[in-house]
Copies of this chain bind each other. A is one copy, B any other.
Amino acid sequence: MEKEQETLRAWKDRVARELDRVVAFWLDHSHDQEQGGFFTCLGRDGQVYDDLKYVWLQGRQVWMYCRLYRQFERFRRPELLNAAKAGGEFLLRYAQVAPPAKKCAFVLTRDGRPVKVQRTIFSECFYTMAMNELWRVTGDARYQNEAMEMMDQIVSWVREDPSGLGRPQLPGAPASESMAVPMMLLNLVEQLGEADEELAGISAELGDWCAQRILQHVQRGGQAVLENVSEDGEELSGCLGRHQNPGEEWEWGGLQMWGLPASLHTGHRGPGWDPGFQMTPLCSQLEWAMKLWWPHSEAMIAFLMGYSETGDPALLRIFYQVAEYTFHRFRDPEYGEWFGYLNRDGKVALTIKGGPFKGCFHVPRCLAMCEEMLNNLLSRLAPASALSTRSPPAGPTRPGAE
């Protein structure tokens, strides 16, 4: 028991220190002091190698800063809040390509001109997450109005009429649904419903709908989670149908309250620990040959959450194993933050710390969630001994194990 506490505490300290280093990296290198918003195309040492602003990552960084500001006393600093607000203003001013139409750009120039539009919902989803978090830290209703209006549009695109997304209707294009869509929507339902019983009630039906759609992706007698299925929930042929995304499966951990079974996400380790998580052979996807940062950080969360909720010591052991590997291979002790892309053998493949898809989100979020969970575990073991660095949570605590 003592030993167990020691190990937990050691990891808690390690994770908290790493969170500090990671946040410092983004504080030091990513803020566009002139235009607002964030540079995410950062080289190993934090130098900006491209000033394009990717909208998912703008939304995510605003969200992350607000979340840290809200939940950790040591992050309740003006520089975080100001940068989040500046990022929010940048989104408000520039994200939508042709206002009042709600469609947002995928990527903008440094000064906010649209470069590319992606015909998916994700820019709009991260915009919504950002606006809602900004409202929660500032109390400014303007942000919440933005969040609610954008949410309505997203739901309309997904459940009623996708034509506003601009996807061409080609005869051969498979009628398929990507798991990422209901998962993202469920995240939005959780985000907007936090500490808001009325809203949570309204969106319960939407949450159930999302959970049902997600469960359709459990195929082959429960043995596989497939990224794309037909609209009727059947397996698809070809590479599209075979596509698996273990990183997303780990993200199920956070959606357990919606009826997604815990046993699937922690029992199913994806394509095998060799060590590190390989993407399933995606036919011709180059990522198959690589190990990416975010499935590893999501796995850390999933196993620690699984242990928190079930008490099964095997899950804690796996958490330590995954965390040890991840820290060892992805961390950069010299310049801070984590490399994003390793080869199959665990060596660094690309030295960038941020790019079109890697920003201030998965890594700090993982560390923040793990710090909180480890703190809670320590509290349970020996209430007087857990050094709490958190202020009381601003939202509902996680429901207990089923």
Contact status A172-B117, CB under 8 Å: no
Contact status A341-B50, CB under 8 Å: no
**Min CB–CB distance A26 → chain B (angstroms):** 17
> With A41-B284, A49-B283 in contact, is A113–B171 under 8 Å at CB?
yes
> With A117-B168, A284-B350, A356-B284 in contact, is A344–B341 under 8 Å at CB?
no
Q: Which of B50, B174, B288 contacts A283 (CB 8 A)?
A: B50
A308 at the interface (CB under 8 A from B): no
> With A286-B286, A344-B349, A355-B284 in contact, is A51–B109 under 8 Å at CB?
no
Q: How far is it, in angstroms, between the C-alpha of A237 and the C-alpha of B49 when the chains are bound?
A: 9
**Min CB–CB distance A398 → chain B (angstroms):** 35
Counting contact residues on chain A (CB < 8 A from B), the size range is: 35 or more
Q: Which of B115, B171, B281, B355 contacts A114 (CB 8 A)?
A: B171
Contact status B350-A239, CB under 8 Å: no
Contact status A289-B343, CB under 8 Å: yes
**Min CB–CB distance A240 → chain B (angstroms):** 8
Contact mask for chain A residues 326-357; partner B; CB cutoff 8 A; 1 contact, 0 none: 00000000000000010110000110100111
CB contacts (< 8 Å) of A349 on chain B: these are 286, 288-289, 344
- In the complex formed, the residue of B with least CB distance to A348 is B289
A97 at the interface (CB under 8 A from B): yes
CB contacts (< 8 Å) of A239 on chain B: these are 41, 49-50, 52
A100 at the interface (CB under 8 A from B): no
**Min CB–CB distance A308 → chain B (angstroms):** 34
CB contacts (< 8 Å) of A130 on chain B: these are none
Contact status B343-A283, CB under 8 Å: no
Q: How far is it, in angstroms, between the C-alpha of A116 and the C-alpha of B113 when the chains are bound?
A: 27
A121 at the interface (CB under 8 A from B): no
- In the complex formed, the residue of B with least CB distance to A97 is B170
CB contacts (< 8 Å) of A357 on chain B: these are 284
A108 at the interface (CB under 8 A from B): yes
Q: Which of B115, B172, B284, B355 contacts A352 (CB 8 A)?
A: B284
A1 at the interface (CB under 8 A from B): no
A287 at the interface (CB under 8 A from B): yes
Contact status B50-A109, CB under 8 Å: no
CB contacts (< 8 Å) of A51 on chain B: these are 237-238
> With A49-B239, A238-B50, A289-B341 in contact, is A115–B172 under 8 Å at CB?
yes
- In the complex formed, the residue of B with least CB distance to A171 is B113
A360 at the interface (CB under 8 A from B): no
Contact status B288-A289, CB under 8 Å: no
Contact mask for chain A residues 155-178; partner B; CB cutoff 8 A; 1 contact, 0 none: 000000000000010111110000
Q: How far is it, in angstroms, between the C-alpha of A50 and the C-alpha of B289 when the chains are bound?
A: 19
A290 at the interface (CB under 8 A from B): yes
> With A41-B239, A289-B290, A290-B289 in contact, is A173–B115 under 8 Å at CB?
yes
Within 8 A of B (CB), among A112-126: 112-117
- In the complex formed, the residue of B with least CB distance to A356 is B284
**Min CB–CB distance A160 → chain B (angstroms):** 24
Contact status B283-A113, CB under 8 Å: no
CB contacts (< 8 Å) of A343 on chain B: these are 289, 343-344
> With A49-B239, A238-B50, A238-B51 in contact, is A286–B173 under 8 Å at CB?
no
A97-B170, A289-B341 known; 20 other A-B pairs, CB under 8 Å?
A41-B238, A41-B283, A49-B238, A49-B242, A50-B238, A51-B238, A52-B239, A112-B172, A114-B171, A115-B172, A115-B174, A116-B170, A116-B173, A117-B168, A283-B355, A284-B356, A286-B287, A288-B349, A343-B343, A344-B349
A–B Cβ pairs within 8 angstroms, 6 of them: A49-B242, A50-B283, A51-B237, A52-B238, A114-B171, A289-B349
**For the complex of A and B, 4 pairs with smallest distance between CB atoms:** A113-B172, A284-B355, A289-B349, A50-B238
